[in-house]
Amino acid sequence: MADFLINWIANVPAFAVPFALAALGLIVTEKSGVLSLGAEGFMLTGAMAGAGAFLVMGGHPFAALLVAALAAAALSLVFAAMTVTLRVNQVIAGLAIVFLAQGLTGLIAAKQGWTNRPVEGLGRLDLGPLSDLPVVGPILFSQDIVVYLTVPIFLAVTYVLSRTMVGLRLRAVGDGPDAADAAGVNVALYRYGAIMVGAALVGLAGGYLSVGVAKLWVDGMAGGRGWIAIALVIFARWQPWRALAGAVLFGGIEALIPRIAAVGLQVPQYFVLMTPYVATLAVMVWASLRAGAQNRFDEPRALGQPHLREERR
Amino acid sequence: MADIGHRDMAILSKPEEAGNTNRARIGRLGLESRQHAPGWYQALVLAGGVLAGLAVSALILMASGIGFAELANEFVVAIFTNAQNVSAVLTQAAPLLIAGLAAAVAFRVRFWNIGIEGQMIMGSIAATAVAIGDVGPEWARLGLMTLAAALGGLAWMLLPALLRIRLSVNEIISTLLLNYVAFNLLLHLLYGPWKDPRSSFPYSQQFDAAERLAPIGWQTLTYALPLALVLAALCWWLLNVSRVGFFTRVIHANPKMAAAMGLPVVAVTLGAALLSGALAGVAGFAVSAGVEYRMTQSFFVGYGFSGILIAFMARNNPLGAVLVALFVATLFVASQSLQVFYQIPGSMVQLIQAVMVIAVASSEFFIRFRIRLVR
């Protein structure tokens, strides 16, 4: 039992990190008032680009992760042009991006022969004697580098969002774009920036999925994690640290799935595979039951609304 | 983009300088909402968007190694000069049209049903249960299967619809999550109790003759197509002629206004959402009983987004949906031959559809706004 628990907990971070980074990216984008339903697409783009870059560039995991983030940011320019410049309905734009990414990643990976090609990927760090410690060794001291970097990334993003001028302006653009515009903030610039930085983080989550966890690319491998991340952001009321907690919860569920069969529990496997989605739904219901009148202020007030200076209210 | 600097320059600079420097004369580009765009102009912009989307799609296909002549051949000549291919397109169009209607009915009340694929699965599961269990007399079997499919899709929509209405849980995410749940249920059945006893492959046993939509008598066409057309006509009546249709139009324009006017917003929204689920269930039945004659693992793939695209391009008009469904069906059929002859993966269909949506959605910018030079 103890072995089972240690083994399980040691695997939670690798499953939690994609949710955490994706949710953080979504928070950055949505704080600027842009509803980002394209997360699944950016995640797929990052995953495919990461695996591809690893194969093409001679196996540098960091370069692969960087390419993953950049590829998603590049694709997000299409989304930004649609939503910010052309004022397309943000739901339609987000869905279009998801399907664009599904088609594009499938096509490119098939043409390049990257599908189902195992990559060596990102290894776990070996911290010598620390990693060999009982219990805490496998849990705390033998994760891969991205797991350790996730907390500084969260610190940096929350610091920028809540303690700097850039963060203040970004939140102003998301809460009251008309007022921000009147105060001289370039609404379009901030929204473009928030979309690209957010997509880069979601792309990094995707790259981690292919290069760090699965160590290969298969079509549609994000498997709804982008959508779960969107639900996590609502559940976390757009607060990064609560999103991280939610990510650990979902990482825990996902890490448990392959272990249920291993210990010989007789549960039909496809019902077990449903659990992340059912749990997400449950979490959304819980979040909305709990959301009283004052909780509604957590949501960026201009979320989903295009800004048009000429229609200032 | 908008640039305050230039305008301020114009205000701040002295009159004689303003006449001399170029910089002061340039205003900024502003946007102006059009109150009304004439019909011919809207059609022109829409055509421009469609053409741009087709051009980008053609470029993508050519970049994947298909020559322009071959492209024209695969998409136009091979399909419209060959009765067998025309029949294939029409056969494919039937379930696509029903999926498009499902999307259109929901979008009309601003309910984003992204769960069409999940509802198709549940519809097909319900219909297949009737078929496998030989429920009812043979003459009534197809009717029972259709009814079961509609109820299956409706039941799958019940939870997201109620959650949205009672608790304002975002229906985009809830309907989408239920797709994955339904898919896993499908796999459970196909790898478990419903595995074909003859071949042990993970698909259901074949439907009996009485459980299949009968052939019409021309090529391989079945009664799925008339069924889809009748549903389109009924949806058109419901959305564009009936009193409820008027309510949906007001709700679409402004839900708060509709509620303030005393319209039954909750009832109409719930009804439209459930109808959408039921239609999606029937779409699943149309694939299983009209094309594949059994329930397979991936019969629903691609219909969800295609339905959304059909509703979006047709502006939620059921009659327009017929045209768009034919276009998407052509894409599906052409892509099958591209897969065989040019090793183009099936995801190309999704890619082209996404490009079309992006092009058309972006072109609407020119319908909604006019660019003005503001001095």
| pLDDT for B68 | 82
DSSP code per residue over B300-351: TTTHHHHHHHHHHHTTT-HHHHHHHHHHHHHHHHHHHHHHHHH---THHHHH
Walk along chain B (375 residues) and give the pLDDT tens digit of each residue.
344 444 443 343 344 444 444 444 566 777 888 878 888 988 899 899 999 999 999 999 888 888 888 888 877 777 778 888 889 999 999 999 999 999 999 999 999 999 999 999 999 999 999 998 888 888 889 999 999 999 999 999 999 999 999 988 889 999 999 999 999 999 999 998 888 888 878 888 888 888 888 888 787 888 899 999 999 999 999 999 999 999 999 999 888 899 899 899 999 999 999 999 999 999 999 999 988 888 999 899 889 999 999 999 998 999 999 999 999 999 888 888 888 888 888 888 889 999 999 999 999 888 888 888 776
Tell me which DSSP letter residue A115 carries. Answer: B
Contacts 24+ apart (CB under 8 A), A144-153: A144/A14, A144/A212, A146/A17, A146/A65, A146/A122, A146/A208, A146/A212, A147/A13, A147/A14, A147/A17, A150/A13, A150/A17, A150/A20, A150/A21, A153/A21, A153/A24, A153/A201
Residues of A in contact with B170 (CB under 8 A): 234, 284
How many residues are present in chain A? 313
Cα(A34)–Cα(B328) distance, rounded to whole angstroms?
A: 30
- Is B328 inside any structural domain? yes
Residue A61 contacts by C-beta under 8 Å, 6 or more apart in sequence?
A54, A121, A122, A123, A211, A212
At A292 the pLDDT is 61
Determine which of B32, B159, B184 to mutate to test the interface with A (most A C-beta atoms within 10 Å): B184
| A308, B34 contact by CB (below 8 A) | no
- pLDDT at position A83 is 94
Whether residue A267 has pLDDT greater than 90: no
List the helix and strand counts (H, then E) for chain B. Answer: 18, 2
Give domain status of residue B30, yes or no. Answer: no
Q: From the list A37, A104, A311, which residue is nearest B172 (CB)?
A: A37
Locate the chain A residue with the closest alpha carbon to B361. Answer: A88
Residues A90-96: what's their mean pLDDT? 93
Residues spanned by the domain of B202? 65-343
Give the whole-angstrom CA distance, residue B38 versus residue A168.
43
B191 to A95: CB separation less than 8 angstroms, yes or no: no
- DSSP class of residue B32 equals E
**A285 and B361 in contact by Cβ < 8 A?**
no
Interface test with B, best of A35, A99, A310 (most B CBs within 10 A): A99
Average pLDDT over residues A239-257: 92
* pTM, two decimal places: 0.90
Residues in chain A closer than 8 A to B30 (CB atoms): 309-310
Question: Nearest CA of chain A to the CA of B213: how many Å?
Answer: 31
> Quick check: is B141 in a domain?
yes
User: Which of B61, B64, B181 best probes binding to A when mutated, by most A CB atoms within 10 angstroms?
Assistant: B181
Is residue A260 over pLDDT 90? Answer: no
In a domain, B17, yes or no: no
Count of structural domains within chain B:
1
The widest CA-to-CA distance across chain A, in whole angstroms, is 65
- In total, chain B counts a number of residues equal to 375
Mean pLDDT, rounded, for A27-44:
95
Sign of CA dihedral B81, B82, B85, B87: positive
Residue B24 forms part of a structural domain: no
Cα separation, A35 vs B173, whole angstroms: 13
Mean pLDDT of chain A: 89
Phi and psi at B373, nearest 5°, equal: -85, 115
Q: How far is the C-alpha of B153 from the C-alpha of B124, rounded, in Å?
A: 9
Per-residue pLDDT at B64: 84
CATH number at residue B286: 1.10.3470
Task: Tell me what pLDDT residue B189 has.
Answer: 93
Burial A130-166 (b: 16+ CB within 10 A, else e): ebeeeeebbbbbbbbebbeebeebbeebbebbeeeee
CATH number of this structure's domain A2-300: 1.10.3470
Residues in B touching A184 (Cβ below 8 Å): 4
Question: Is pLDDT at A133 greater than 50 in this prediction?
Answer: yes
Q: What is the mean pLDDT of residues A178-204?
A: 95
Chain A: give the shortest CA distance to residue B205, in Å: 20
